[in-house]
A and B are shown apart, each in its own frame.
Chain A
């Protein structure tokens, strides 16, 4: 699975930061654009790229970007 593209898309279109800004330890709530629309946008790109449906509450419960990536990976392996 191409997580590089997912990360790039997430940076560019969801939280709108420069490419390569995010690290696994980045705290999502510290990002200015991390809001309810960002949660929906994350679900949209996961659906587009991997055809998986993420649970909104689970995304909201993620503290760091790394946790979010893990959720997507888990969903993929479970699907």
Chain B
């Protein structure tokens, strides 16, 4: 049977580093020491660089890629599609399929699901799943509530076909609650609320943070509540769907929102610390890139062995969440 699996992962972060104040208790709580932020680069550039790293590694020839999927909330243009621009820049075959999709922290797991669907129905053989975001462009520099959390990054995952009896990707669980839209949003600039002069006016919130309606806004407490409400049921649904218990998994890789939230979730779900990935000290919350970055880091540290069972779970802006089982396959 045709199965899909992750063959390789690379990521790229922009050169410029911003450091969080080590003397702030906030820094310790969120577990983020530094983030990378773009200067001139766009999210498409970050994804491009990650993809170039993948090709330079020699794992795959450009001519063998037959699909590009790009997850971003910071496209280069309203149109055309950034994935089309990437096809040209990466010099991939014109017979490539290519599209963008707009998701945040749940985006990587969605991408794996899309890739699995395309490969296992015989529509594609080698898919380049790219993620990239530059929330720093949306963040007001005087808004500490988000400035210290979000870092810019891009990732490239090669998903290929293989003849096997067991799944490497899946099963999946998904969830959506659009009533949470107000709590994590860049309000102005799209079709619903175009830029106006008023939109660019900066207002101060009760904690002294400044932002305009063209900036990223996050209602931290409400997003935290959403996570407490939705992540545990999704997690247990996935355990049930896979017929596996916590002890049957080798590793849990969740979206790296911040350390405080991850630790709270870990204790609530009773996941052993040694199986739970925390990888945000040096990158922060890179939205759809946190899971591939975490996977790559675990790989480089020798923590992923052939046939390891992993549980991935992304959750955030939308609200949107998605989780899946993944079996690691050494290439």
Within 8 A of B (CB), among A2-59: 16, 33, 35-37, 39-41, 43-44, 47-48, 53-57, 59
- With an 8 Å Cβ cutoff, the count of chain A residues facing the other chain is 19
* Contact across chains for B25 and A40 when beta carbons are under 8 A apart: no
Binding site for A on B (CB under 8 A): 25-26, 29, 145, 206-207, 219-222, 224-225, 228-229, 260, 264, 267-268
Q: Contacts A33-B25, A53-B229, A60-B206; is A39 near B264 (CB within 8 Å)?
A: no
Complex: A57 Cα to B221 Cα, angstroms: 8
Overall SS of chain B's interface: helix
Binding site for B on A (CB under 8 A): 16, 33, 35-37, 39-41, 43-44, 47-48, 53-57, 59-60
9 contacts between A and B (CB under 8 A): A33-B25, A35-B207, A40-B220, A40-B221, A41-B29, A43-B228, A44-B260, A47-B228, A47-B264
Closest chain A residue to B263, Cβ basis: A44
Complex: A40 Cα to B26 Cα, angstroms: 12
* Contact across chains for B264 and A36 when beta carbons are under 8 A apart: no
A11 to chain B, nearest CB (A): 15
Complex: A45 Cα to B114 Cα, angstroms: 38
User: Within 8 Å CB of A54, what residues of B?
Assistant: 225
User: Within 8 Å CB of B260, what residues of A?
Assistant: 37, 40-41, 44
User: Within 8 Å CB of A35, what residues of B?
Assistant: 207
A56, A57, A60: which contacts B224 (Cβ < 8 A)?
A56
User: Within 8 Å CB of B206, what residues of A?
Assistant: 60
Complex: A48 Cα to B25 Cα, angstroms: 21
